[in-house]
A and B are shown apart, each in its own frame.
Chain A
Amino acid sequence: MSAPTRTRAVSLLLDPGSPNSIGMPSPPAGLVEHDLYDLPELDLGSISGINLASSCDQVFLGRHRDLLEDFVRSGGRLLVNGHVAEPFLTGLVPWRRLSYKGPRDLEITSLSPHPIWEGIDLRDVLYRTGVPGPHSFEELERIGVAGFYGRGYHLPLPESGRAINGVGPLQAPIDYTYPLGSGEVVVHGGVDLITFVDPHRTTARLGENILGWLEGTA
């Protein structure tokens, strides 16, 4: 049996290499960053998975929807981060803003398992702070800022879609997945998933989970 030819995981974003100002960890080694506008020049035949950053230009992606769709239908995996305003691929639905009053309205709950979130305690994605060091959940309730993970949802889901995580007491789907041809699309409706890697929380493994899924090994 020959070795699989599609093994590379790439991340497409607006401006690779630009400094991030909120002190977030670097993406895991193995996830190679490219400028979104280089998409038409990429050798998609060697790529197993694409992470689309929330900064991506959705007008440009819409112009290249055939290329993206061929990539997924032929077995590729696509992780879409952020807020889809103009669906640029078959099956994507628009993000809608949630009405919220406080952290309880923004709590994330698991609705079905997915390899990307395996081993992640979703309480660990609710709060973010720049105060250095590890913090207990109770401490974060006092000093943390909630809502980075997401403040919106996707309804109705595409016909073949499955909700992965819900937001708020009504558990509106914030993360969902659907098959497309031989491939799979996962949508995370919030700040880029890769930025939630934190060595002090269960999200320490999130980077490896994402990479493993994009590489097709998870």
Chain B
Amino acid sequence: MSTPEIAFIHGGSGSHLTTLNEPALQPYRLRPIYLYDLTPDDLSDVDAVIVADREHPKLLAQHGKTIYGVAERGGVLAVFGQNAAEQWLPGVGWEPRPTNFWWWRTGEDNHMRLQRTDEPIWDYFSERAMIWHHHGVLTPPEGATTLVGVEEDGTMVGATTYYDTVSTAGELFVTTMDPCYHHGAAFMPGASQLLYSTVRWVEHRARALSG
């Protein structure tokens, strides 16, 4: 089978362009879709969509239905953080949190809890990829699987990353982390790992679902 068609929706930022030029990602033949010019036709034949982090929120929300439509027709949709996903992904809640970027220097609790299971998705994501910092807490749609939860005062209050195979005919991977930004800025190896791991997982699932 040929490589699945994976659209990479970007906003033209330095980090997005650097991510698209990343040698490690060239074998995936990601199809760059520039958000400012996006039309529904751009996504009509793709097997999967990756929405880069930190897009223009209003522009992205305008195209939310079109993007979500890829999952509704059985495709794969990965949404990175700082994208106001709660405004365009159905059934998702959101509460912002201050970003603790220094916890690893002081030994503070980062509140992120890996919810590792035997599910195959965990073959793709390491702790290093999934836990560095986040920007807030998502309440996933009913039936979705939390991959990384947030614990505050002894209670799990939501997720920083979840996986959803029930809301649509396809599959969604949603995170509040921003790996394109930090990979593109040459910051934090964990961010690069999350970026690479997600693209690898998306390709794997798109191949499985479209085959």
Contact = CB atoms under 8 A, between A and B. Distances in A.
Interface of A: 14-15, 18-19, 21-23, 37, 54-60, 82-86, 95, 97-98, 128-131, 142-145, 147, 151-152, 191
Given A15-B56, A83-B184, A83-B185, A130 B14 contact: no
B98 A54 contact: no
25 contacts: A14-B11, A21-B96, A21-B97, A22-B99, A37-B56, A55-B13, A55-B54, A57-B12, A57-B13, A57-B36, A58-B12, A59-B36, A82-B14, A85-B14, A95-B14, A128-B102, A129-B102, A129-B105, A130-B101, A130-B102, A131-B106, A143-B106, A144-B105, A145-B101, A151-B187
A155 to B, nearest CB: 15
B166 interface: no
A98 to B, nearest CB: 7
A145 B17 contact: no
A151 to B, nearest CB: 5
Contacts, number: 86
A59 B106 contact: no
Contacts of B36: 37, 57, 59-60
B154 to A, nearest CB: 23
B43 to A, nearest CB: 18
Interface residues of B, number: 30
Residue picked from A57, A95, A130, A152, most chain B C-beta under 10 Å? A57
A18 B56 CA distance: 11
B34 A22 contact: no
B25 interface: no
A74 B77 CA distance: 46
B54 A98 contact: no
Given A55-B54, A60-B36, A143-B105, A98 B14 contact: no
A191 B187 CA distance: 11
A96 to B, nearest CB: 9
A58 B14 contact: yes
Given A82-B14, A97-B186, A129-B105, 13 more contacts: A14-B54, A15-B56, A22-B101, A23-B98, A37-B59, A56-B13, A58-B12, A59-B34, A83-B18, A86-B17, A143-B106, A144-B102, A151-B186
Interface string B1-41: 00000000001111101100100000000000010100000
Contacts of A130: 98-102
Contacts of B15: 83
Contacts of A60: 12, 36
Contacts of B100: 130
Contact of A145 (B11, B58, B98, B102): B102
A95 B18 CA distance: 10
A58 B186 contact: no
Contacts of B200: none
Contacts of B204: none
A81 to B, nearest CB: 10
Contacts of B207: none
Contacts of A191: 185
A54 B14 CA distance: 8
Contacts of B57: 15, 18
A107 B21 CA distance: 27
Nearest to A86: B17
A123 to B, nearest CB: 18
Q: Closest 4 CB pairs between A and B? A: A59-B12, A85-B17, A57-B12, A83-B14
